[in-house]
Structure 1
């Protein structure tokens, strides 16, 4: 039971950090696109 709980928490943590990286890179892409247009 505790093992499964830890696994789930690890998964959520890695998902959150992935989302942060993804959002950051997406923001950088949009900044580059907007910078190229202006």
Structure 2
């Protein structure tokens, strides 16, 4: 299951994405990966 807050989605739609948001997304993606 993927949890997506509208604030997070809008953050990725910005021309410049906050590095902290990218780092958080990587952690979420890693945690959601089977065997991760």
TM-score, length of structure 1 as denominator length: 0.43
Looking at both structures, which has the greater relative contact order when contacts are Cα pairs under 8 Å and sequence separation is at least 6?
2
User: Max radius of gyration: which structure?
Assistant: 1
TM-score, length of structure 2 as denominator length: 0.45
Normalized per residue, the structure richer in helix is 1
